[in-house]
Structure 1
Amino acid sequence: MGKPNGWIIYNGNSTHEKFYNLVKWIDTVAHEKGLETELIKNNELVVSMENGKSIIKGKHEGKALPDFVIFWDKDIYLAKHLEKMGLKLYNSASAIEVCDDKALTHQALADNSVPMPKTVIGPKVFYKVSSLENYENIADEIGFPMIIKEAFGSFGQQVYLIQNYDEMIEKVKEIGNKPHLFQEMIESSYGKDVRLHVVGGKVVASMLRTSEVDFRANVSNGGKMHRYTPSEAEKQLAIHASLAVGASFAGVDLLFGPNDEPIVCEVNSNAHMKNIFDCTGIDVTEYIIDFILEDLQNR
């Protein structure tokens, strides 16, 4: 039996060099550990349905399918299509879909009794907000200050700190028909959180992020990274959250509750690894590839 071969799928329309550098990093580690992998842009694979079957056309039409796919994109339609064709994806299409949509994330966490900020999913808006009659109920439920998050967003973007009802209504009108949610502000965690990387049900790396200039601690927003040893409660919660969304590996962000109890903020199925490598020297990519190798051997 030859080496397992796989595709590493990434977004072909991304203009950020850091995204390509990340998948190239994964590809390099995979080859070092004995896998035959190929970098594939999502738009190279033409998603097609013909004669009652899901097939792939385009550049890879007629070629042998891989043994597995490392799906480093958020093209959910493509991910589900590949699974319909019988391919094993890391992470699964379902896990990526749930993590990409913050509303679905918190529903999945709630279904599994995972501690998180009080959350209200914003009502569906088709074109623009034309009725404000029920937003007072949301304000009463969450209180101020509150956090409004667009359901789709990365690196702490599309997350807003709201101080009062007028600001809330202004932001709701600005967001318009984009899905969003309302959350209580965990003031005890203002400008700080913990990122834990979970792989195969184990915490393999962690760091503390702090900001002196923003309520968000994301490094992309000016936050600073610090080495951090998580408590057993933090590790178990991160693992629980990862399992709740069905992820084989994930970056789990935890907030500090009023008594320093951990609270889940977000779960990222395609968490970037460079920052935590720069902070700790731990290469999470190696753990991911080792997990995939073991999983393939056990199939």
Structure 2
Amino acid sequence: MKTKGWLVYEEEHAKKNLGFIQWFLDEAEGLGIELDFILQSRISFGVQNKELIIHLDQQSIHVPDFVIMRNMDPLFNEQLERMRITCFNSHHVSVICNDKARTHQYLAGKGIPMLDTYFSTSDELLAGNLPLSFPFIIKSRTGRGGGEVFLVEDLVQLKAVVAQLSSRSIILQPVAGSPGKDLRVYVLGKEIVGSVLRSNQTSFKANYTLGGQAKAYTLSDMERSIVNKIIQQFDFGLVGIDFLFDKEDRLLFNEIEDVVGCRTLCLTSDINIVKKYLEFILQKLSFGGEFT
């Protein structure tokens, strides 16, 4: 019997990643995996007759052996795992890594270099509760892809950003020593599979999708040691760990992308990351495991 899986996206993100989705489906077929592409909007889940349930198109279904979550929905992740369906990435990774404040809180005290990071809300800032001086960076706790990240240089800009973010929870950080440059390290399980240096000459954001440049990067032994300290704190599927640089070009942890994009890895290497991911999933399923 074939291993059966779901590849789950929300609709807007799926439209931008049709090629990546087809890549998953093609590689799955080659590995003998029955993989179905499912939009999150087709799924309903909850508790019915005192039991956990998942419905597809309002119908009961035979649940898959695993789910690759390309959508950020920690509650759904937890539902899957409580129903003994293995989820990539896991509920734990989803809860921590899709919240920048939680990620920094979780990794604090682990010997990982990072910027000072303050947890706040936009309302608190308007009340004058500023834990650091201008200029500084404001980020939404749940933004992705470089969105909802702002450089604030004075009170006028602060008020404009606060109005845009409304009453959302945020983090505040000083400006890194080398703005406009960052490093993404791709991790599969406990393995570092590739690294990409991203840079932007016209913005403090280095994201490739925002106009940045990308090239392959070789980690030093010291840099690899820092990455491995983070890896040891999680049971990852596929993630991207992002770093900034200080004035001496040393790594500063920035964030972990749970639903990581692989465009720059594909552009800068010949790594078949999708095939490797599916082979990793098959290996993990052979060992079993359950939610506790």
Same fold (TM over 0.5): yes
**8 Å contact kept, 1:241–1:264:** no
Post-superposition offset of 1:266: 1.2
Q: Quick one: structure 1 residues 106 and 15, their matched pair in 2 at CA, closer, same or farther if it must change by over 3 Å?
A: closer
Counterpart of 2:220 (choices 226, 231, 254) is 231
Question: Out of 272, 277, 285, which is 2:274 matched to?
Answer: 285
SS in 1 for 2:137: strand
Shift of 1:41: 1.4
Deviation at 1:88, TM superposition (A): 0.8
Is the 8 Å Cα contact of residues 205 and 284 (structure 1) preserved in structure 2?
Answer: no
Deviation of 1:145 after TM superposition, in Å, equals 2.1
The aligned amino acid for 2:38 is I
What is aligned with 1:95?
A: 93
Q: Does the aligned pair in 2 maintain the 1:42–1:75 contact within 8 Å?
A: no
Tell me the distance in 2 between the aligned counterparts of 1:254 and 1:218.
12
The letter for the 2-side match of 1:234 is: E
Match of 1:252 among 218, 241, 255: 241
Q: Structure 2 vs 1, CA of residues 20 and 75 (structure 1 numbering), >3 Å: closer, same or farther? A: farther
Corresponding residue for 1:59? 57
Amino acid at match of 2:25: D
1:186 alignment partner in structure 2: 176
Q: After superposition, where does 1:101-250 map in structure 2 within 5 Å?
A: 101-110=99-108, 112-123=110-121, 129=123, 132-136=126-130, 138-139=131-132, 143-187=133-177, 189-250=178-239
SS, match of residue 19 in structure 2? helix
User: Are the counterparts in 2 of residues 109 and 245 from structure 1 also a CA contact under 8 Å?
Assistant: no
Superposed displacement of residue 27, structure 1 = 2.4
In structure 1, the gaps of 5 or more residues are: none
Match of 1:8 in 2: 7
For this pair of structures, how many residues does the alignment match? 288
Q: Runs of 5+ in structure 2 lacking a partner? A: none
The runs of 4+ residues in structure 1 deviating greater than 6 Å are none
Q: Percent identity?
A: 27
Q: 1:23 Cα deviation (Å)?
A: 2.6
Q: Partner letter of residue 251 of structure 1?
A: G
Moved more, 206-215 or 240-249: 240-249
Query: 2:189–2:235: 8 Å Cα contact kept in structure 1?
Result: no
Q: Equivalents in 2 of 1:261, 1:115: separation in Å?
A: 9
Relative to 1, partners in 2 of residues 1:67 and 1:174: Cα closer, same or farther, differing over 3 Å?
closer
The yes-or-no answer on 1:34 pairing with 2:32 is yes
Most deviating of 254-263 and 168-177: 168-177
CA distance in 1, matches of 2:25, 2:231: 24
Two-structure CA RMSD over aligned residues (Å): 2.1
